[in-house]
Amino acid sequence: MAQKIFITGKKILSVFCFMLSDFISFFLLYILAVNIKNWGRFFSPHLLETRFSGEFLLFFFIWFVEFLLSGLYTKRRTISEEARSIMLAHVRSSIILLAISYLLKILHISRGIVLILLILGGPFFLAGRIFVKFLLYRMGIWGKEVVFIGLKPVSESLIKKIGNNFFLGYRSPSFVKIENPVSSEKIFQKFHDKKNFDIIIDSSGIKKEYIVKLVETLGNFGDSIMLLPDTSGVAITGQPIVAGDTFLLTVNLNLAKPWNIYIKNAMELFLTIIILFIISPVLFVITLLILLFDGKPVIFSQERLGKNGRSFNLYKFRTMFPDANEKLNDYLEKNNSAKEEWEKFMKLKGFDPRVTKIGKFLRKWSLDELPQIFNVLKGDMSLIGPRPYLPREMERMGMYKDVILRVKPGITGLWQVSGRNSLEFEDRLKLDEFYVRNWSLWLDLIILFKTPFVVLRSKGAY
């Protein structure tokens, strides 16, 4: 436990130093831009005082948010990849700043200063990153073990390029030999007590189906997984990593990374409190309607699969009759088409004999799901995440369950804004796996923004 806390502390310190580096780089860049724009009063204290307090802080806040959303404080990249990410985020920040100034007419900001920032910014930020990462690496703060896996040992040159790379932060490279065919049990034995490391798989000589199996198994241990080609047929996501003449492909599992989870949980806790305050009157009115027309109970509790496959009770407003299962079985026995639809979608799009009149209205507008906000507060669910699957659906989830069940399910998610219940079961699984692998704050914000519009259209809700 002490070692884990120490490792987490070094991660936090590294992120803080990267943020501080960007702040100092931007401060120096801003001073230079202001004085180049006003060359006649070069390094004028009065000029800096009048601009610094408001304009500088606004500028830096825009850049900081864009850098955060671009993963520049959490993702490990080579120098070339970092330079590309910094430049893209830098250009986007400049565009946002100009939009705030000229499109929204909020502030009057010198176009000259913004242009100078745009031209000089990339090298400033990158130089700061190189210096800080080199310093932290030498101090033993910025560093992570990397494990090479394959049928035969990797070359010494590859270990030098990647295994001792100060910018990626890799150190203490090691090699683990595996056998063909790949055995999940042996992988578990080798790595069950190993934490905080990244994995590079040399896929040469390994059959494609075993590569998939190896990736899914190692996803339970390593923070990040990279593959040396050939990798055709494997679900590869993310940008390639190029170190010298070595080409690696990243297999993302973004929501398995502790730092991403901390960021997501912090954002969602803040949003959950705001949402609960807004919907409280709606919760009260729906409770009264159910009590008046359908009686008790108001809340329906159902067992669902949570993080790591642990069961929890999901809360909804009751929308069904007390003898719902009996009504459903009788209906399916008498209607073959309804039975086929149920087996395909695990839902009935048209008439559902289990649902009350008030329940039908609540379901149409997804109001029955509002009590799940309390599941979020309890820590069983997230605002945004994979669909909360039923225990009986675990077998049908197949190979997807190892990825999907590594995170908390969500009230809304990529599956909901991409078709909801009109999607077939496997399509939902694919979307949920994609979400877990490719999570970002941007993706969550997009899903959250789209959810109200999807609900108001009531398409796919039944």
Among 157, 171, 175, which residue's Cα sits nearest to residue 244? 157
- How far is 249 from 232, CA to CA, in rounded Å? 11
pLDDT digits 0-9 by tens, 409-426: 999 998 888 776 667 788
User: At 189, is the pLDDT very low, low, confident or very high (cuts 50, 70, 90)?
Assistant: confident
pLDDT digits 0-9 by tens, 152-184: 877 777 777 777 778 888 877 888 888 777 776
Pairing relationship of beta strands 170-177 and 410-412 according to DSSP bridges = unpaired
Are the beta carbons of 314 and 302 closer than 8 angstroms?
yes
Residue 308 predicted with pLDDT over 80: yes
* Model confidence, pTM: 0.63
> Of 246-255, 296-305, 391-400, where does the model show the most confidence?
296-305
pLDDT digits 0-9 by tens, 247-290: 566 666 677 777 778 888 888 998 999 999 999 999 999 999 99
Q: Quick one: pLDDT at residue 8?
A: 64
Sign of CA dihedral 165, 171, 172, 173: negative
Which residues share a beta bridge with 329? none
pLDDT digits 0-9 by tens, 202-238: 877 777 777 777 777 777 666 678 777 654 444 444 4
Per-residue pLDDT, averaged over 298-319, amounts to 92
**First vs last C-alpha separation in the chain:** 47
Which residues share a beta bridge with 299? 317
Tokens 């949003």: give the residue.
271
- How far is 390 from 379, CA to CA, in rounded Å? 18
- How far is 397 from 426, CA to CA, in rounded Å? 8
Quote the percentage of the chain above a pLDDT of 70: 82
Are the beta carbons of 268 and 382 closer than 8 angstroms?
yes
- The tokens describing 405, both together, are 């069940």
Q: b/e per residue, 364-376, with b = 16+ CB within 10 A?
A: eebbbbbbbbebb
Contacts of 349 (CB under 8 A, 6+ apart): 341, 421, 422, 462
Question: For the chain, what is the mean pLDDT?
Answer: 79
Long-range contacts of 324-328 (CB under 8 A, 24+ apart): 324/354, 325/354, 327/353, 327/354, 328/352, 328/353, 328/354
